Structure 1
Amino acid sequence: MKTTTVRVASASIAAMLSAAPALAQDMAALVEGARAEGMLTTIALPHDWCGYGDVIAGFREMYPFLEINELNPDAGSADELEAIRANMNNTGPQAPDVIDVGLAFGPAAQAEGLITPYMVSTWDTIPEGARDAEGHWYGDYYGVMSFIVNTDLVDNIPTSFEDLLKPEYVGQVALAGDPRASNQAILAVMAAGMARGAEPGAAAAQAGLEFFAELNASGNFVPVIGRTGTLAQGTTPILIQWDYNALSARDTLAGNPPVEVVVPSDAVLAGVYVQAISAYAPHPNAARLWMEYLYSDEGQLGWLAGYCHPIRFNDLAARGVIPQDMMDALPPAESYAAAVFPTLDQVNANRDAVVAGWDSVVGANVE
């Protein structure tokens, strides 16, 4: 994980409050409400994902009166929604206040009545296409699908999805999640389908499932959830995951073993994640305060320090508040030039097809 520390939110929030007395009253009430609640419960936020360790530390430093209760850091997006369903009538520590899920899961949660609307103070700087008009969910960051390769064990680095089918990669390729529940893995299937020329959505899902069926039949696919540890140990020396997770893992490993991060040449799929507040949040004020922090300059730059492109990136860049060292640490801009941002309908169609078809088409129980 990058260790760059950014401390700008105190000033930016202070300026925001002084410039808008009505907002100051709202923020003051929000802070006091959160103080009375005393806790924020998060879920599925591993500290090495998108710089979340430092983001959580920054929030804790700003609001030391709040206990941060972190549930199941390795949960997938589907698990997060299930946690809300399972705790609708539970105000105890197992009920999440907030969720961070793949784009397709935001509208699904909204349709089911699992999340409640809230518009942060920086709402107008979130692109319209990346937010629900009523504030039920809103984009937070994005990255592109990549490969991270343990070069101690892999001599020839694959540069495309099609390369992964080569016999030299037997027992080496894994996903960073269960494609029946993990947004990251579900979209990796779509990227594989796009690499074969299929349009994003149901077509790419089918083509991607067929790709992974071939990968599994060839013996190249390893049916475990790949992590930095399995990459380093050699259980999964080639891991398909978001670029920000791969780059963070590269920093964590610090050359032991050496790794290389590759954006595949045959499909550059960009994936947006979204934030939302549970409609059954035991700590609604703390949840809103958390959102205000995440969408402040500090929260956004905290994600950028973890190699994620924050949703307010264009606004931050236009105002010149992004430190140069952060810009220099990102992959070259040309790596993202061909990035495809699928529509919400395409993401939903892909999710449904992958979740429904993985067992029957691929037949690999990833766990």
Structure 2
Amino acid sequence: MHTARVKACVLGLAGALFLGAAFCGTFAASKSKSLNALIAAAKKEGQLTVIALPHDWVNYGEMIQTFSKKYGIRVNELNPDGSSGEELEAIRANKNNKGPQAPDVIDVGLAFGPQAKQEKLIQPYKVSTWNTIPANVKDPEGYWYGDYYGVLAFEVNKSIVKNPPADWADLLKPEYKGKFALSGDPRTANQAIMTIGAASISFGKKYENAAAGLEFFNKLNKAGNFVPVIAVPGTVASGETPITVRWDYNALANRDKSAGNPEIAVIIPRTGVVAGVYVQAISAYAPHPNAAKLWMEFLYSDEGQLIWLKGYGHPARYQDLVRRKAIPAAIAAKLPPAQAYEKAVFPTLEEQEAAKKIIAADWDKVVQVDVTK
């Protein structure tokens, strides 16, 4: 936390040691005073409105409950299963609304951060741990910043699918007829959009060449293997959609939650392993701006970052936590082996934007099926 400032205190010349210590003490006191003022202002607002945060998504249930209890602020939760596109639309639709339907904060796919900034839907705020967030996953002006990442994996109900797929091409097998579904609308949901990009990579194309992924889904649909329903944990468990693609942290959390009833298998595919970063931002029209800033401070504190890590999401400040040996052994032991991520591809913003445009424009023409909730 503010490593450069700490080093300045430790490595200062001996003759200036007292002055350096005094400066660091003043800085720490100033920082503490600033945070206390923010806490007081947030408590006065009394509420935080979040959107599209399922409790089983990267441990958000614990995150929300801990924040609310810690600061005595009620958390109003909107549309838990909403997509990144729906989050931005909620801000647009509530620009002049200070009521409970107006979100204060959003958690969206990486490509949606710059879009929200361009549309002036979000406001800048740099958390106190700003310097430990990698530069390549944050807006330099503080409009948005990465929160966690994972890779796309197959989530399979083994009670129904005895022989789970090991790679993308396997999904075309006749034994999977009527069994595979996406986890969102591919025209608006980041997880579903990146799933199509992952399929493109699996078949030897670049992520941004989404046409290859669309053609694969066209084949899945024609084979009768694709179910045009948005897969959620309940539909996987019931067998309505026994195979889906989900971020590994969500799939692993669902596996733990099911406790073997049904048995859930989580498989990182052999090829087309795509990693995705999600980002946080504060609405430019937030009804509770101080609560929103305090929420960000909590998320990016060690406490908040470890809550995400307990939910199998690699938090933005992961390397900083590792460097300071701040990750408890019990949490580290539950993480998937590092080699599972060796082939992971992190699409750039430009690549994501290119794929997103192709998918939004051509899904209906190529795949010709409407994905519904």
Tell me the TM-score range normalised by the shorter chain.
over 0.9
**Residue in structure 2 matched with residue 337 of structure 1 by the alignment:** 342
Shift of 1:153: 1.2
Question: Which of residues 289, 294, 301 in structure 1 aligns to 2:299?
Answer: 294
Q: Does 1:29 align with 2:37?
A: yes
1:277 aligns with 2:259: no
Query: Which has the larger displacement, 241-250 or 26-35?
Result: 26-35
Question: What's the offset of the Cα at 1:350?
Answer: 1.2
**Correspondence for 2:9:** none
State the TM-score, normalized to the length of structure 2. 0.92
Task: Kindly report which structure 2 residues correspond to 1:164-243, keeping only aligned pairs within 5 A, or say none.
Answer: 164-201=171-208, 203=209, 205-243=210-248
Stretch of structure 1 that moved more, 347-356 or 280-289:
347-356
Separation in 2 of the partners of 1:298 and 1:343? 29
> What is the SS of the residue equivalent to 2:370?
coil
Consecutive unaligned residues in structure 1, runs of 5 or more = 1-15
| C-alpha contact 1:17 1:24 (8 A) present in aligned 2 | no
Question: Structure 2 stretches of 5 or more lacking a match?
Answer: 1-23
Q: TM-score, with normalisation over the residues of structure 1? A: 0.93
- The CA distance in 2 between the partners of 1:352 and 1:17, in whole Å, is 51
1:36-51 alignment runs, 5 A limit: 36-51=44-59
What SS does the aligned partner of 1:20 have? helix
Pair 1:162-2:176 in alignment: no
C-alpha distance in 1, partners of 2:115/2:357?
A: 11
Between the two proteins, the alignment pairs up a number of residues equal to 349
- Relative distance call for 1:128 and 1:155 in structure 2 (3 A) is same
Does 2:261 align with 1:267?
no
What code does the residue aligned with 2:194 have?
A: L
Contact 1:248 1:306 in 2 (8 A): yes
Consecutive aligned runs of 4 or more in structure 1 exceeding 4 Å deviation: 16-19
Which deviates more, 102-111 or 17-26? 17-26
Partner of 2:311: 306
Task: Determine if contact 1:151/1:157 at 8 Å carries over to the other structure.
Answer: yes
Which letter maps to 1:128?
A
1:354 shift after superposition:
1.1
Deviation at 1:17, TM superposition (A): 9.4
Query: Per the alignment, in what secondary structure is the counterpart of residue 155 of structure 2?
Result: strand
**Counterpart residue type for residue 150 of structure 2:** G
Which amino acid in structure 2 is aligned with residue 358 of structure 1? W
Give the match's secondary structure for 1:45: coil
1:102 aligns with 2:121: no
Output the CA distance in 1 between the equivalents of 2:166 and 2:366: 25
Structure 2 counterpart of 1:358: 363
Report how far residue 18 of structure 1 moved. 8.2
Aligned to 1:152: 159
Q: CA deviation at 1:22?
A: 2.0
